[in-house]
Amino acid sequence: MAVDVLLGLQWGDEGKGKVVDFLAPGYDVVARFQGGPNAGHTLVFGGRKYVLHTIPSGIFRDNIINLIGNGVVIDPITFAKEIDMLRQAGVPYSERLRLARKAHLILPSHRYLDAATEAAKGKARIGSTLKGIGPTYMDKTGRNGLRVGDITSAGFEEKYQSLKSKHLTLLKLYPEIDFNLEQEEARWMESLDVMRNIVMVDGEYYINELLEQDKNVLAEGAQGSMLDIDFGTYPFVTSSNTITAGVCTGLGIAPSRVAEVIGITKAYCTRVGSGPFPTEQDNETGEFLRREGGEFGATTGRPRRCGWLDLPQLRYTAMLNGVTQLAVTKIDVLNNVEQILAATHYRYDGQETHQLPYDVDATPIEPVFRQFPGWKQSLAGIDRYENLPPAAADYLRFIESELNIPIAMASTGPERESLIVRR
Ligand code: GDP
Ligand code: IMO
Ligand code: MG
């Protein structure tokens, strides 16, 4: 059968985890295809909150396989902590989880390199989560990496020592970085035992066999399209392809297998870390959105920068991803706003345009906003799209018409149940 994709159209944290958890029962497999523990995907159900970093968001559902694909980078320590959280929650993770042997491993020394290179950037720092993502993908493309499959091979120790010593040589360039490698290494080695107890698969064969058996796959994106290594606001991006194209390389499936692409966006916009953000409201409005939306990072706890919805930005990522349906989240965060703004186009270099400039950071962009009256009421309990307040329906209709893509889902709260699926 087919692979549907759900991915973020902004700078991450659009609510991917919540919506994947909701949709998972309609699929046989949920698969992560890129990124690593820089991601933090929040699920809220049964009065509890769970944050996943590496493990796909279908893990709490019965009878679903959750595959960590080859395109993901895994920190065994974070992974072991997530497994522990699942064990405590009584989730039968062993039967539900599969690890692709070709996924790369984040070493403790990758994290130190991340911290060292980021600190050396000074003011130009990216605002990385410092989880070792960049250095690990560099070793992958530099053909030095360690992979999940290596941890069961006889030559593993030697490969590990060789990569570690390369890192220690590099770290001498950054003497100000202080670290306790021995302690972290011991934790890391222990955590590998947790990974060895999870079923490992040749992910590309595994997923294609399931597709041949008519199984349905939901590919779960991490980060957002504006953080894509090729098309994001470079260099303020992550180190993987976060867009639909990444699904093929990150799982080993052909483009012709991809069916629906669900693009997810907040009803406004956030970004965590440095880099350009044309519609940012670095003022009371931004503070209001941060407060109402609880906009603090699920991985690092950092306050997220907040601003209004940016239609040129969404057009761009809808184009890159081939989005066929939209999911709009956090609509409830706007419940008490008098006037909602959304940028319809940009002004820069003396022109009005829908296009993002080559260097978004170096170009002073003036977003041109349109105003919408707020609905000034709670959305709690609304379970049909037709029952949304007229002002909310108008705002959503505007998004659909600007992007020319139907809204299939509207999320009105963090809980699993607060999701309106349009009939
Ligand atoms: P992800 O990385 O895309 O999975 O998103 P995060 O989990 O990092 O951030 C989304 C945050 O918004 C989490 O705290 C969610 O619990 C919360 N959330 C998701 N959908 C909604 C919604 O519709 N309304 C509100 N108020 N919160 C939501
Ligand atoms: P989810 O999957 C939001 C941001 C970081 C930083 C930049 C590079 O939860 O949406 P990295 O650690 O990859 O070197 O950081 O990317 N970033 C995210 N922002 N959500 C995420 O994931 C992110 N993952 C990375 O803040 O600006
Ligand atoms: Mg997140």
* Tens digit of each residue's pLDDT, the chain (423 residues): 899 999 999 999 999 999 999 999 999 999 999 999 999 999 999 999 999 999 999 999 999 999 999 999 999 999 999 999 999 999 999 999 999 999 999 999 999 999 999 999 999 999 999 999 999 999 999 999 999 999 999 999 999 999 999 999 999 999 888 888 999 999 999 999 999 999 999 999 999 999 999 999 999 999 999 999 999 999 999 999 999 999 999 999 999 999 999 999 999 999 999 999 999 999 999 999 999 999 999 888 999 999 999 999 999 999 999 999 999 999 999 999 999 999 999 999 999 999 999 999 999 999 999 999 999 999 999 999 999 999 999 999 999 999 999 999 999 999 999 999 998
Give me 312's structure tokens: 């040129």
Strands 305-307, 269-271: pairing is antiparallel
Task: Say if ligand 1 is within 6 A of residue 332 CB.
Answer: yes
Number of other CB atoms surrounding residue 59 within 10 Å: 24
Q: Probe ligand 1: pick from 6, 11, 13, max atoms within 8 Å of CB?
A: 13
Atom 5 of ligand 2, residue of closest alpha carbon: 128
State the Cα–Cα distance between residues 63 and 83, nearest whole angstrom.
18
- The helix/strand/coil state of 168 is helix
Task: Say if ligand 2 is within 6 A of residue 13 CB.
Answer: yes
Cβ burial 412-423 (10 Å sphere, 16+ → b, else e): bbbbeebbbeee
Ligand 2: which atom is nearest the Cα of residue 118?
14
114 and 128 in contact (C-beta within 8 Å)?
A: yes
Residue 8: φ, ψ to 5°: -80, 135
Task: Say if ligand 1 is within 6 A of residue 13 CB.
Answer: yes
| Whole-number Cα distances in Å, 333 to 8, 78, 230 | 18, 31, 31
Task: Using the structure block, give the residue that is written with the tokens 């009256």.
Answer: 373
Residue 67: what pLDDT?
98
Query: DSSP character for 107?
Result: P
Question: What is the CB-side half-sphere exposure of residue 327 using CA atoms within 13 A?
Answer: 26
Residue 206: what pLDDT?
98
Give me 326's structure tokens: 């939209």
Q: List the one residue out of 190, 101, 79 whose CA is nearest residue 153.
A: 101
